[in-house]
A and B are shown apart, each in its own frame.
Chain A
Amino acid sequence: MFLEKSITKFVAKVFLFLLPVAIIFAALVFLGMRVGELRKTNSVVEFEIKHPGETLFLRRILQDTDSYKFKKLLRLKPDILILGSSRVMQIRQEMFGEDVLFYNGGGLAEMPLGFQELLDLLPKDYQPKIIFIGLDSFEYGKKRNSGRGALKAQMEKVDYFAPANWRPYVYVAQRLAVGIIGNPARLFDYLQPKEPINGKTAIGVFALEGNGFRFDGSFQYGGSILSRRLNPNFTDTEDVIGRIRQGTAQFVFDSDFDYEKAEDLKTFLEAAKAENIFVVGFAPPYSSEVYKELTISPRHKNLFADFRSKIPKIFAEADFPFYDFSDLSVLGLNDQYMFDGFHPTETAAAYMLRSMLLHKALKNNPLLNEKSAVLYLDKAINSDGTKPFKIYYENN
């Protein structure tokens, strides 16, 4: 049994022909691993646990944020958890001091059903002691999907890194190659991935650009911070105003408050109470223009007003506090404290949290005591290094 000469010649030629392609592909896969795009989610979580506070994580090509955040939550098992949309993601561990473990689960669950489903997914041996939930008025319209099963579906999504799943490797190699051809200097960034704001180890291409999740699950808007450094007075609310006027994205035209979602919220609060979890509700701020638009827009104002009048009552009935910061001016801040029309900066988030912690309902909570939080926040807010778009912590 042997191969004819012509076959061996054929095979050798095909091999030599494909060798450069294979080498380039292997190099790109190596880069993908180096920059974190091909790093398995479990491995990312373990690396972060070993190097707390030294990383920023967000992939650009293979995103599985929910799975990452949930795995991290289970690994950290924090005392204080925050849930809500991206509008809550600027609340950080530092704001609670060092005596208590906090995790920002923003993005994991935004709807009342989602809060409940997340609680149900937690293991029996773990419950957070306090959950802050940021509520958005636009989530309570009748047209908005209740999000039933969304979290579970995300968890069960195709595993990018399942054995024999080759597509992510090809896809990442392809995208990285396109990126390098567009900007060859990126090659060096991929080899030494550091994020530009604090010089932490970047895991993922987005993190390399300064955007990503910190150890505590909070989000760093590196791109916005860099542009604000160049132009501190820049405010950007046009995009959100456009969404409201055109009824797109989060702001679909919706005048009717959804009482079913209100019932879902009641159910969640009751369940939390039964589990001895203290829930703090709050509505994060909008920029002044966006706030004004929501109060006058004929296709949004009813929902916005109903949300602001009915939700606090539900919390009051459950004997949990609720704080409405929809109007940024209640914090004494202006639009420079917003990244855009509806995302507060971390400095605004510090003001918001400080305002809540000073309230009687939270003041005496041993986990949220004055020493470790408010004083610390005061110091950070009043620090010379603090800017409207970026707070300066002592340990920063």
Chain B
Amino acid sequence: MTFNSPEFLIFLAVVFFTYWVLNLKYQNLFLVLASYFFYGWWDWRFLSLMFISASVDYLAGLFLEKTDNETKRKYILTSALTANLVILGFFKYYNFFVSSFQNGLGTLGIPMQSLTTLSIILPVGISFYTFQSMSYSIDVFRRTVRPTRDFVAFTAYVSFFPQLVAGPIERASNLLPQFQARRQFDYAVAVEGLRQMLWGFFKKIVIADNLGMVVEKIYGNVYGASSWELLIATFFFAFQIYCDFSGYSDIATGTARLFGFRLMRNFAYPYFSTNIIQFWKRWHISLSTWFRDYVYIPMGGSKVNFWKYARNVLTVFIVSGIWHGANWTFVAWGAIHGAYFLPLAVSKNSNRYKEAREDIPSLKNLHRIIFTFLLVLFAWVFFRAENIGEAVYILGKIISTGLLAFPGFSAIYPKRLVIIGILIFAEWISRNKQYPLIGLERLPKIFRFGLYYAIIFAIFFFGNFGSLPFIYFQF
């Protein structure tokens, strides 16, 4: 069940009604059942994985509470993390590691046929809920979160349907207490949630899916595409993935608000970043902070010598790349971002944390924003390509004399460029707000409702109702 389907709207209406007539005790249980139904709609067989993951971390929390012996605590944490990572590793990375191992031996002239790849279906959203569940055990181990004895609340925290399959990856410190507290329906918050959902739907259905059609077509025939086509497709992909993923996050956050929950912010207008450090503070925030808190800082963070610092940065980016998928293209994508990040991070440049705050960006900031975007665009080629060879081919083709032959105005999809222009304008003027439609209640009713209807009709008239799934589901 995807957010952009009537099934979801029916499901949401039923769950909303039932949820608000129940009291707290049953609300959590009902949310667990609803979330399992939501997830089982894709493939009920993988419900057990989610249940195992949640049970492992719940039990780890209880065991960690019972002992102050640090060796035992480490053992408990290691066991919990291992169990989660084994599940994740098997379902997501087994074939990748086997084929990479075989290829590696093959290049050394050692044939290796005894290991075979398996036809494993990747469970939707496994990386999201596994990371969310694991963060609880780590936080309990660090004593930053009190372990819960309420299994239902904990299971609801791990499987909460709005953010279950594509985040934001929540922390127990933020979300779990909300499951333990009484929720009060707040009219204004619910309206705010609907507004955020509406903006998310617009980004997904009108922008991401329309751009996705072009991207699919051109990236599906890379070797038959011209330099301009590949450039346009890569440019479109940058906005497709942004609108797809941030659109999902908006719908998730808005949906959670209907039930009285506040989820963390996942995107903060990343393409307005003036450098790569800023970009990573604004893109997929829940994942980058997860890696910062649970990988980077435990490795020593920046409080080590240069070489260890470089190791820490590159490790985090490469692991973050692999998190996205079992392919060397994701490794390359992560490594490229690590390479962008490191020089700026070690520099003493005082501008590295400065944002473009003026209404109309200065030439200097505009130049920085465009340069940062181009760096990100370069890396997206690796993210989208089928393999490294294809990515190199695409970049070679784009940066070639083929670009001198302008294909004509219609070949650059002017209507889609206009939609991107509208998005950039809307986001630029609202970049101090969480999303552009926030705070509309201050407008006269006629404008407010006019705008709502305009967006709904834009979704209806210009939306792409094909079957493109949310990109981040596969991760």
Contact A1 B187 (CB under 8 A): no
The stretch among A169-177, A235-243, A288-296 that forms the contact with chain B is: A169-177
Contact of B20 among A3, A21, A167, A171 (CB under 8 A): A3
Contact B20 A7 (CB under 8 A): yes
Chain B interfacial residues counted at CB < 8 A: 23
Q: A171–B205 Cα gap in the complex (Å)?
A: 12
The stretch among B103-111, B307-315, B462-470 that forms the contact with chain A is: B462-470
Contact A174 B22 (CB under 8 A): no
Contact of A6 among B187, B453, B461 (CB under 8 A): B187
The stretch among A9-17, A334-342, A384-392 that forms the contact with chain B is: A9-17
Q: Mark B13-35, 1 if CB is under 8 A from A, else 0.
A: 00001001110000000000000
Contact B191 A10 (CB under 8 A): yes
Q: Mark B387-425, 1 if CB is under 8 A from A, else 0.
A: 000000000000000000000000000000000000000
Q: Mark B226-243, 1 if CB is under 8 A from A, else 0.
A: 000000000000000000
Shortest beta-carbon distance from A100 to chain B in Å: 44
Contact B5 A166 (CB under 8 A): yes
Q: Mark B167-189, 1 if CB is under 8 A from A, else 0.
A: 00000000000000000011100
Contact B461 A178 (CB under 8 A): yes
Residues facing A in B443-466 (CB within 8 A) are 449, 452-453, 456, 460-461, 463, 465-466
Q: Which residue of A lies closest to B23 (CB)?
A: A1
B461 cross-chain contacts in A, Cβ below 8 A: 174, 177-178
Contact B6 A166 (CB under 8 A): yes
Contact A171 B22 (CB under 8 A): no
Contact B463 A174 (CB under 8 A): yes
Shortest beta-carbon distance from A77 to chain B in Å: 36
Contact B456 A167 (CB under 8 A): no
Q: Mark B288-313, 1 if CB is under 8 A from A, else 0.
A: 00000000000000000000000000
B191 cross-chain contacts in A, Cβ below 8 A: 10
Contact B187 A10 (CB under 8 A): yes
Q: Which residue of A lies closest to B191 (CB)?
A: A10
In the assembled complex, A2 has its CB within 8 A of some CB on chain B: yes
Contact of B456 among A21, A164, A171 (CB under 8 A): A21
Q: A17–B6 Cα gap in the complex (Å)?
A: 17
Q: A25–B453 Cα gap in the complex (Å)?
A: 14
In the assembled complex, B194 has its CB within 8 A of some CB on chain A: yes
Residues facing A in B179-208 (CB within 8 A) are 185-187, 190-191, 194
Residues of A at the B interface (CB closer than 8 Å) are 1-4, 6-7, 9-11, 14, 17, 20-21, 25, 164, 166-167, 170-171, 173-174, 177-178
Residues of B at the A interface (CB closer than 8 Å) are 5-7, 17, 20-22, 185-187, 190-191, 194, 449, 452-453, 456, 460-461, 463, 465-467
In the assembled complex, 7 residue pairs joining A and B whose CB atoms fall closer than 8 Å, in A order, are A3-B17, A10-B185, A10-B190, A11-B17, A174-B461, A174-B463, A177-B461
Closest 6 CB pairs of A and B: A1-B21, A170-B465, A6-B187, A166-B6, A7-B185, A7-B20
